[in-house]
Amino acid sequence: MSLLERLRRVRAEALGLNRRNLDLLQAYNRGPLYAVVDHKQRTKSVLSALGLPVPDTYATCARPNELARFGDEMERLTEFVLKPARGAGGEGVTVVTGREGEAFRTAGGRLLRHRDLVAYAADIIAGAYAISQAHDEALLEYRLRSAPEIEPLSPGGVADIRIVVFRGVPIMAMLRLPTRASGGRANLHSGGIGVGISIASGRTGTAIARGRMLERHPDTGAILGDWPVPHWDTMLSLSARAFLAVPLGYFGIDIVLDARRGPVILEMNARPGLSIQLATRHGLRPVTERVAALERAEELEVEARVALGRELGV
């Protein structure tokens, strides 16, 4: 099939924003669960209660009178991630990779003083990066690092694997890679790369960045296609098990292959974006329609839902 024919097929089968909202989010996502998924610490709590791997939280800060204690926790650490509990799209996240004297060195190479980070935490709790621009909480957590197997594809940042799950069945996936242009962030809207992953085989396929197809990583020259994602079976199992903790009918889950801990769930998303369709070169409509037609899919055991994903997913 030619590229033009594939693009035409994707356009015909693509799931649009309105259809996603009406047919999937409104039909399958219960309102109270949004409050869990939209708060990263609550999400981690319910996932870890089921024994699912998540980044450790060192400290939280919800009020201005807690900033001094929060700053003391930072001083005890060499590396960490400072992030908003209610942020979205990677906004408001600062990754500290080490210390130079009394200064903190970020993933982007900046040197920040202790008071800079405390002021940044104050901005977070004031709601500067929250989805609703309302009061937020600052989180201090374990810094994830890309495993050696994936490091050539993720220079200067951490790659993650986004898996879309419908009725507890993993149906579509992509590898999200950071670039110099994205400032070390794996988000596609920031200039990161999306690489489709076959649900059945766990091997990468086509890649896209800023609307252009890629064969190699622009910074390292690494080939992006036909790469076997390590621990793929585990990642599919984690995505299906996450449904037991947060039973949203339709969600995205982001998993990092960490250098020390292996697959770790970074976060869940109750409103996953639709650019995954461009990365995989497949529309979401046919697969969601097939899974929607199944009887009691949610009641199946984890292994059965993973098997269904391999059979029906893209």
Domain boundary among 112, 141, 170: 141
Residue 1 has pLDDT above 70, yes or no: no
Q: Report the C-alpha gap between 194 and 213 in whole angstroms.
A: 10
| 131/152 same-domain check | no
Q: Report the C-alpha gap between 295 and 223 in whole angstroms.
A: 41
| Domain ranges, residue 174 | 3-53+146-312
Q: Which residue type sits at 130? A: A
Domain boundary among 125, 141, 157: 141
Instruction: Identify the CA nearest to 2 among candidates 190, 213, 272, 187.
Output: 213
Residue 107 pLDDT: 84
Domain count, the chain: 2
| 207/280 same-domain check | yes
Confidence category of residue 6, pLDDT binned at 50, 70, 90: low
Residue 259 pLDDT: 94
Residue 2 pLDDT: 65
Q: Report the C-alpha gap between 120 and 174 in whole angstroms.
A: 32
Residue 231 has pLDDT above 90, yes or no: yes
Single pTM value for the model:
0.93
Instruction: Identify the CA nearest to 143 among candidates 197, 85, 78.
Output: 78
Q: Which of residues 237 and 155 earns the better pLDDT score?
A: 237
CATH number at residue 168: 3.30.470.20
Crossing angle of the two packed helices 67-75 and 114-125, in degrees rounded to 10: 140
The string of pLDDT tens digits covering residues 80-99 is 999 999 988 778 899 999 99
| 134/154 same-domain check | no
| 152/69 same-domain check | no
Residue 187 pLDDT: 80
Which DSSP category does 228 fall into? B
Alpha-carbon dihedral angle through residues 46, 48, 54, 59, given to the nearest 10 degrees? 80
Domain boundary among 141, 162, 179: 141
| 155/109 same-domain check | no
For a pLDDT cut of 90, what percent of the chain falls above it? 78
Report CA Rg, the chain. Answer: 19
Q: Which of residues 154 and 205 earns the better pLDDT score?
A: 205
102 alpha-carbon distance from chain centroid: 32
